[in-house]
Chains A and B, each alone.
Chain A
């Protein structure tokens, strides 16, 4: 149980392209999902918290117009990197927590998306 699916697993595209990444909880409902960015040999940096049916909460320094988040259902959140540039190249990982199990529950991670902007 507690499987999170993330697609695509990697993307290579030209500068200026917008890229959409999907995060799905397959066997549980998640009112909240999390989007992280991870640089090589570094820890997970929280970018934003995605809330079902409402606006996402962005961490300080993360541009909300650059990284658009939509959480339209209890099992799907999307992250769109708009007009991507080489400095946006990174490993993006989503995670979700089972909403029905109460507080103090682990986050389950997707496989991540490796984004390379040429």
Chain B
């Protein structure tokens, strides 16, 4: 089955800096890659997703890049703000299959 590795497990940045979280996946057939943000005690919320027919997608301060050959994808957050502090999960799936999640990255943005 699919295996998703996520790094780093913890990331501390100063407000205004950029943050990058990286994930690798094992199943080359996977074609859907969402990113979720989870604040403490709350539900995971979809922040951005990318499908395998594109290499990059951007939504304001958030972007995701996908390298199918290397089987890795990354989340980029620019101009970080304290409210960006949360745990971020990457995931991968194929078609209607179940999402396989990474272990999560705790992002801490200091004012």
- A residues lining the B interface (CB < 8 Å): 32, 34, 41-44, 46, 49, 93, 97, 103-112, 114
Q: A43-B89, A43-B102, A104-B31 are in contact. Are A32 and B96 (CB under 8 A)?
A: yes
Q: A43-B101, A49-B98, A104-B95 are in contact. Are A109 and B31 (CB under 8 A)?
A: no
Produce 1/0 per residue, B89-107, CB < 8 A to A: 1000101101101111010
Closest to B30 in A: A104
Helix, strand, loop or mixed for chain A's interface?
Answer: loop
Interface centre among B34, B44, B95, B96 (most CB of A within 10 A): B44
Which of B36, B43, B89, B99 is within 8 Å of A111, CB to CB? B43
Interface size class of B (residues with CB under 8 A): 20 to 34
Contact B95 A110 (CB under 8 A): no
Q: Which of B45-53, B64-72, B73-81 contacts A (4 or more CB under 8 A)?
A: B45-53
Contact A106 B34 (CB under 8 A): yes
Kindly list chain A residues whose C-beta atoms are within 8 Å of the C-beta of B101: 43-44
Check: B61 CB closer than 8 A to any chain A CB. no
Kindly list chain B residues whose C-beta atoms are within 8 Å of the C-beta of A111: 42-43
Which of B34, B36, B43 is within 8 Å of A110, CB to CB? B43
Q: A43-B89, A43-B104, A44-B89 are in contact. Are A107 and B43 (CB under 8 A)?
A: no
Contact B102 A112 (CB under 8 A): no
Contact B44 A44 (CB under 8 A): yes
Can you name 16 extra interface pairs (CB under 8 A) apart from A34-B99, A109-B43? Answer: A41-B106, A42-B104, A43-B103, A49-B98, A93-B43, A103-B95, A103-B96, A104-B31, A104-B32, A105-B32, A106-B34, A107-B46, A109-B36, A110-B43, A111-B42, A112-B42
